[in-house]
């Protein structure tokens, strides 16, 4: 838990120290109030002067107002600290997650990472906001109050001691029942978020297959599990409040009953002393009980916050598998080479890529084709280090990709993913994404090369047209063309197109490839394709089968020498086209 406080800056730590100091001052002021009350009682009973009574009353009011003032300041500082902690911690989690490889994101799961960034941070914030005061105030007040009343009256001390013991036993029993279930609650929250995200993402498929009832039952099951666990926790914790009230009321009543009996049996002078002790004891006993009540509130908040803090630290302290290198420049420009590369997904039984070796020269267009599951996308995902090769080397510009600073490696590559990813920004912001300064002329050129200009020019506001979240207000083909434009506007040394033409018709596909060849003639192009037509004119075609290279060459060479490629070609092309 306390490791998370390292996230706070110097200003926040200074405010925390000020808050702790003010809480201590507040406790000392609150503990003076019973003394003034006892003095006033004694003065009244002994017929002291009005001036002395008023002076004691003034001191009592002064302490009360000073306590109120410190309480307000501490409340303000605690709220500021909690908000600052949330802001800083969420930022750190977000930046940490940005550095995760795909395998690390899968390990935590997207739903869990969202919960940890929002719900878990909120739980710790709540503890800081309330606990900063209570955690310091309660033990100090309890200890000092006990010291104040220690040895004054055995009967009153015994009653107070018994009340505290009963209270502690109750706290231990309830906390031991509830803490393990708070961990379950967070896991169930992750599961609920995962199912909700799954339902929202796949809403079209759910409707198309009339699976609303199935998904609803799946959601309701997760929802019921979470609700039932939370209900159990709240019911157990709900016992706390009435029991605390009963103990407080019984303690006060017991002190007054015992006090009345002792006063009835005592002499005149002893009556005054016993009455004064009774007033002081009832007040201090209440402060002791109030201290334990505050601790109980901490015990109610702390277990969940502790679980949340552990989950946050799991993310912040996780070792990133993709380590940053030190080099920023290569020996060459636009070359890619695989040297005996083998890759196995984490926790997989078999390798996805087996001992692959090939070289791509600057300015070449290289196509990669193969059956479903042959490892095409996996192969190109190793170049920008979405995963690291299990063995072997991948060289970009003559340097192992693991030796590059990630920022510089990404700067060399224009990556277009298999699934079109469009952000809820304008078309202009989507195309110039990641580039601080890109002229409108450059953006329009990229849009024209990707054959997106025809539909962009017809939109309201043109390149300033707002794309909805997930690109739901444009078609799949339009999203894919805008994604191509984004890579083109970046002007990289190496383009990686991971089956990025699949949503385009053959005519548009042909025009885009012609434009690319002309516009990016000095760049290296790696195209993963399912259609032979997309890579038919490539300088080199790599054929994959079960993660191994079974053929490299031009279209004509492969038709003669590679049976697997010929089989793919026959399934897609007519006899005339093959000839």
What does the pLDDT look like over 185-232, one tens digit per residue?
Answer: 878 888 888 888 888 778 878 888 888 888 888 889 999 998 998 888
The packing angle between helices 154-201 and 121-149, to 10°, is: 180
The residue among 39, 66, 67 whose CA lies nearest residue 55 is 39
Q: Average pLDDT of 341-369?
A: 92
Predicted local confidence at residue 154, as pLDDT:
73
| Beta strand extents in 442-523 (DSSP E only) | 494-498
pLDDT band at 506; cut points 50, 70, 90: confident
Predicted local confidence at residue 549, as pLDDT:
95
pLDDT surpassing 70 at residue 266: no
41 versus 209: which is more confidently predicted? 209
Predicted local confidence at residue 48, as pLDDT:
66
Long-range contacts of range 84-89, CB-CB < 8 Å, 24 or more positions apart? 84/8, 84/9, 84/12, 85/4, 85/5, 85/7, 85/8, 85/12, 85/124, 85/125, 85/128, 86/121, 86/122, 86/124, 86/125, 88/7, 88/8, 88/9, 88/12, 89/4, 89/7, 89/121, 89/124, 89/312
pLDDT band at 164; cut points 50, 70, 90: confident
573 versus 428: which is more confidently predicted? 428
- Contact partners, residue 462, CB within 8 Å, separation at least 6: 427, 456
Predicted local confidence at residue 184, as pLDDT:
84
pLDDT surpassing 90 at residue 510: no
The residue among 419, 356, 349 whose CA lies nearest residue 382 is 356
pLDDT surpassing 60 at residue 268: no
Predicted local confidence at residue 38, as pLDDT:
67
Q: What is the largest CA-CA distance in the chain?
A: 125
pLDDT surpassing 90 at residue 161: no
Residue 308 burial (CB count, 10 A): 26
pLDDT surpassing 90 at residue 573: no
pLDDT surpassing 70 at residue 276: no
Predicted local confidence at residue 501, as pLDDT:
85
pLDDT band at 2; cut points 50, 70, 90: low
Lowest mean pLDDT among 277-291, 301-315, 436-450, 476-490: 277-291
Structure tokens at 560: 């003669």
Predicted local confidence at residue 151, as pLDDT:
61
pLDDT surpassing 90 at residue 150: no
pLDDT surpassing 80 at residue 578: no
Q: Torsions phi, psi of 51, nearest 5? A: -60, -45
Distance CA 235, CA 63 (A): 39
Q: Average pLDDT of 274-302?
A: 73
List the domain boundaries for the chain. Answer: 2-316, 336-578
pLDDT surpassing 80 at residue 489: yes
Q: Over the chain, what is the mean pLDDT?
A: 84
Predicted local confidence at residue 273, as pLDDT:
67
pLDDT band at 260; cut points 50, 70, 90: confident
- Contact partners, residue 224, CB within 8 Å, separation at least 6: none
pLDDT band at 502; cut points 50, 70, 90: confident
Q: Average pLDDT of 55-70?
A: 85
* 22-36, 131-145, 418-432: range with highest mean pLDDT: 418-432
Percent of the chain whose predicted confidence (pLDDT) is above 70: 93
Predicted local confidence at residue 436, as pLDDT:
66
Distance CA 430, CA 439 (A): 13
CA 320 to chain centre: 16
Predicted local confidence at residue 41, as pLDDT:
67
pLDDT surpassing 70 at residue 171: yes
pLDDT surpassing 80 at residue 8: no
CATH superfamily of 336-578: P-loop containing nucleotide triphosphate hydrolases (3.40.50.300)
Distance CA 256, CA 436 (A): 75
CATH superfamily of 2-316: ABC transporter type 1, transmembrane domain (1.20.1560.10)
Predicted local confidence at residue 564, as pLDDT:
93
Q: Average pLDDT of 469-479?
A: 86
């Amino acid at each position: 838990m306390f490791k998370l406080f390292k996230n706070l800056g110097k200003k926040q730590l200074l405010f925390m120290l000020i808050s702790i100091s003010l809480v201590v001052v507040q406790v000392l002021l609150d503990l003076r109030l019973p003394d003034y009350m006892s003095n006033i009682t004694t003065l009244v009973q002994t017929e002291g002067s009005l001036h002395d009574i008023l002076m004691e009353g003034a001191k009592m009011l002064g302490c009360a107002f000073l306590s109120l003032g410190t309480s307000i300041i501490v409340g303000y500082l605690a709220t500021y600290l909690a908000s600052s902690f949330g802001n800083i911690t969420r930022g750190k989690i977000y930046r940490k997650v940005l550095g995760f490889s795909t395998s690390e994101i899968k390990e935590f799961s997207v739903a869990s990472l969202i919960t940890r960034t929002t719900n878990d941070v909120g739980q710790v914030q709540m503890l800081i906001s309330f606990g900063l005061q209570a955690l310091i105030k309660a033990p100090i007040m309890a200890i000092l109050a006990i010291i104040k009343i220690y040895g004054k009256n055995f009967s009153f001390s015994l009653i107070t001691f018994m009340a505290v013991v009963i209270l502690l036993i109750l706290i231990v029993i309830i906390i031991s029942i509830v803490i393990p279930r708070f961990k379950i609650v967070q896991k169930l929250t992750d599961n609920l978020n995962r199912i909700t995200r799954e339902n929202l993402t796949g809403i079209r498929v759910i409707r198309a297959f009339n699976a609303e009832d199935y998904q609803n039952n799946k959601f309701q099951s997760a929802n019921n599990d979470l609700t039932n666990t939370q209900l159990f926790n709240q019911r157990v914790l709900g016992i706390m409040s009435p029991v605390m009230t009963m103990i407080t009321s019984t303690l006060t009543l017991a002190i007054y009953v015992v006090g009345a009996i002792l006063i009835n049996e005592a002499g005149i002078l002893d009556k005054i002393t016993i009455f004064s002790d009774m007033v002081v004891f009832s007040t201090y006993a209440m402060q002791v009980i109030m201290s334990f009540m505050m601790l109980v509130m901490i015990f109610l908040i702390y277990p969940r916050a502790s679980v949340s803090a552990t989950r946050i630290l799991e993310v912040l302290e996780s070792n990133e598998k993709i380590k940053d290198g030190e080099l920023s420049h290569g020996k060459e420009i636009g070359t890619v080479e695989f040297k005996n590369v083998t890759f196995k997904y984490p926790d997989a039984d078999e390798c996805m890529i087996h001992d692959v070796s090939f070289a791509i020269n600057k300015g070449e267009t290289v196509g990669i084709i193969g059956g479903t599951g042959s490892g095409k996308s996996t192969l190109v995902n190793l170049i920008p280090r979405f995963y690291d090769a299990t063995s072997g080397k991948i060289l970009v510009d003559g340097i192992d990709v693991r030796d590059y600073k990630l920022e510089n490696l990404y700067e060399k590559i224009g990556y277009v993913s298999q699934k079109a990813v469009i952000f809820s920004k304008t078309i202009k912001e989507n195309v110039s994404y990641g580039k601080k300064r890109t002229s409108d002329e450059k953006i329009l050129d990229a849009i024209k090369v990707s054959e997106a200009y025809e539909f962009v020019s017809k939109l309201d506001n043109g390149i300033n047209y707002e794309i909805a979240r997930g690109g739901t207000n444009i078609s799949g083909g339009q999203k894919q063309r805008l994604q191509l434009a984004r890579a083109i506007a970046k002007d990289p040394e190496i383009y990686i197109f991971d089956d990025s033409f699949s949503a385009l018709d053959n005519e548009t596909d042909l025009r885009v490839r012609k434009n690319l060849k002309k516009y990016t003639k000095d760049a290296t192009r790696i195209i993963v394709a399912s259609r032979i037509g997309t890579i038919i004119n490539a300088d080199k075609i790599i054929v994959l089968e079960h993660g191994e290279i079974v053929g490299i060459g031009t279209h004509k060479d492969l038709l003669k020498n590679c049976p697997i490629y010929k089989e793919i070609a026959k399934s897609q092309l007519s006899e005339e086209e093959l000839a």
